[in-house]
Amino acid sequence: MKKLLPTSTAGSLPKPSWLAQPETLWSPWKLQGEELIAGKQDALRLSLQEQQQAGIDIVGDGEQSRQHFVTTFIEHLDGVDFAKRETVRIRDRYDASVPTVVGAVSRQKPVFVEDAKFLRQQTSQPIKWALPGPMTMIDTLFDSHYKSREKLAWEFAKILNQEARELEAAGVDIIQFDEPAFNVFFDEVNDWGIATLEKAIEGLKCETAVHICYGYGIKANTEWKKTLGAEWRQYEEIFPKLQQSNIDMISLECHNSRVPIELLELVRGKKIMVGAIDVATNTIETPEEVANTLRKALQFVDADKLCPCTNCGMAPLSRQVARGKLNALSAGAEIVRKELSL
Ligand SMILES: [Zn+2]
């Protein structure tokens, strides 16, 4: 993409209230059967239009066809029993009732490929598609079959690679893997987390990205953030290895976070999706606030490698707030683009 500072989002955007309960994670669908399929497509169109009207350059589906960024993908796989639930501690942070891996995991058919084709038909803009990363997938399950986080992660990486290759063939320009778990399990990330991610992108010619954040603006995450001290140095643990990896882009939480911005120097050379929108507050950033975050990042990211983005998904926000934040992101990026062209 030629445009300087192309804007994008981390992925999810709010769903219309006729499709699912607003401002809720894991919100149940309000439609069924054929109506649900058509409703998801209509919501995707709306979500795309909102991104376009806000002037977002790299667009997505707003994750309108999935209930949750991890579980919806897993629901389509064999080897996982959704009726057999166990309580596990997710990302060392909060307990949740999750499905159980009961046998060998496999993907019998594509999960999101038809949705991606549909999005591709709607726009000629570059499109980005998000998938959960292997480590975040295993962290959202109870495993009674492999009994090894690493083994299960490698199996998921193979499955993700199958899906990613088909998404690429469907015309997706950037495939992103969501790995919030990378901010928690540093030893595992360095031992096998990044390696499994590289397995997931094996053979792809499109651009690839990893999204590493401090989570949605839900209570468990905001409470956790309060315990992290004055400086959030989690990225420092994994950036050196990530810098050496084959991943093209890294999506990070920057705005209103306590991440020391100079840590970005550790991944110099990668394209960076700089989070310039806080998803944990309903306060809409001013364009100047967005511009400020981007200016700080530009000290450590080359201008041709910086993509202004949101800190994380905006699924739990109201549509009105999300629209305001998308507009602010565009306007803030434009301020800095003008400065750079002087
Ligand atoms: Zn996120």
Centre of ligand 1 from the C-alpha of residue 179, in Å: 8
Using the mean position of ligand 1's atoms as its centre, give its distance from the Cα of residue 188 in Å. Answer: 19
Distance from the CA of 249 to the center of ligand 1, in angstroms? 15
User: What is the torsional sign of CA 193, 205, 47, 312?
Assistant: positive
CA of 341 to the centre of ligand 1 (A): 31
Alpha helical stretches, state H, the chain:
33-53, 71-75, 113-122, 134-138, 149-169, 186-188, 194-200, 219-226, 234-243, 287-298, 319-341
The mean predicted confidence, pLDDT, of the chain is 95
Q: Ligand 1 centroid vs 259 CA: distance in angstroms?
A: 15
User: What secondary structure letter does DSSP report for 265?
Assistant: G
SS3 296: helix
Tell me the pLDDT tens digit for each residue of 32-88. Answer: 999 999 999 999 999 999 999 999 999 999 999 999 889 899 999 999 999 999 999
| Structure confidence by residue, pLDDT tens digits, 167-215 | 999 999 999 999 999 999 999 999 999 999 999 999 999 999 999 999 8
What is the CA(304)–ligand 1 centre distance, in A?
23
- For ligand 1, a single-atom ion, the residues with CB < 5 A are 213, 312
